[in-house]
Structure 1
Amino acid sequence: MLRQYAPDNNPIVTSEDQHTVTDLKHETESEADNSATETNEISYSITQLSQEFNISSRAIRFYEDKGLLNPDRSKYRRAYSKRDRVRLMLILRGKRVGFSLDESRELFDIYDSGTDEATQLQHWFKLLQKHEDRLEQNKRDIEELLVEVKNAKSHCQEFIKTAATE
């Protein structure tokens, strides 16, 4: 299934994209469980994933180089599993909301560690808190910059008025 895109090149969010954090966690776990038990596992080529998510093949290889994706290789071809596809989707969603690749890796590591759900959710909560704190700081910084821009505009207007009367 190809993803649809709005004119601003952002994916159109469908009802199937509306997952809670817990839903995403369970989806990732079930995909990982399925990949371990299926003998005829569905695989995706780099071209299929790049088209579905509207990103370059190079971006996918970059995520692979960073250790976030782990495709099977046969000769010169990469075969991405359902688990890789879910991870790519989560990386891109995280990126849209401002998570770093290290934060995505941190989440993957926690889920892969097999720790209990309460521990995973506590870690997720801490990560969200850090992200919220960073966004609040960015908001304060932007508000300060806006005050400076407004002051500069005001000075410009005064200068223009003074220059026009001379």
Structure 2
Amino acid sequence: MTKDTMTIRQMCDTFGVTARTLRFYESKELLSPLRDGQRRLFTRRDRARLKLILRGKRFGFPLEEIRQLLDLYDVGDQQQTQYRETIDRARAHLAELRAHREDLDEAIADLDQQINWGARMLATMKRKDAAE
């Protein structure tokens, strides 16, 4: 191990993920650590990719889409294709998230109305029972 590589334990501690998660990402070809016998050694590139993977997951991107975007790094045009494609997909995803938020806002408003209606009905019933 050198100062430029990290063990699986160091990666777990640094990024707050499990060893199983790292092995899963490796199996999906999202990460490609070096091998020293049975030990995995993660390079700076792996660390950068993991940061992007975790960010993509937080934003709700599927792993396959994250992998496709990461693979564009190697196109050879100084990452222009990767940036362009990432921006396009991010804009589309943001539009979807905003639409979901609008749907959620409507559902929340409807549920609030139903709760208020139910509370009023219950209060009316209690007043009727008390009056009898």
| TM tier, smaller | 0.7 to 0.9
Root-mean-square deviation (CA), in Å? 1.9
Q: Residue 73 of structure 1 aligns to a residue in which SS? A: strand
Residue number in structure 2 paired with 1:129: 91
Given the alignment of the two structures, is residue 111 of structure 1 paired with residue 73 of structure 2, yes or no?
Answer: yes
User: Could you tell me the TM-score, scaled by structure 2's length?
Assistant: 0.84
CA distance 1:128–1:153, change in 2 (3 Å):
same
Residue number in structure 2 paired with 1:159: 121
The residue type paired with residue 57 of structure 2 is K
Given the alignment of the two structures, is residue 77 of structure 1 paired with residue 29 of structure 2, yes or no?
Answer: no
> Rg: which structure is higher?
2
User: Could you tell me the TM-score, scaled by structure 1's length?
Assistant: 0.69
Q: Percent identity, aligned pairs only?
A: 35
Residue number in structure 2 paired with 1:56: 18
2:49 to 87, 96, 100: 87
Whole-angstrom distance in 1 between the partners of 2:37 and 2:106: 55
Higher relative contact order (CA 8 A, sep 6+): 1
Residue number in structure 2 paired with 1:32: none
Residue number in structure 2 paired with 1:18: none
2:111 to 124, 130, 149: 149
The unaligned stretches of length 5 or more in structure 1 are: 1-39
Q: 4+ residue stretches of structure 1 with deviation over 4 A?
A: none
1:57-104 CA distances to partner (integer Å, 9 max, x unpaired)? Answer: 111111111110011223321111111111111111222233332232
Report how far residue 162 of structure 1 moved.
Answer: 1.7
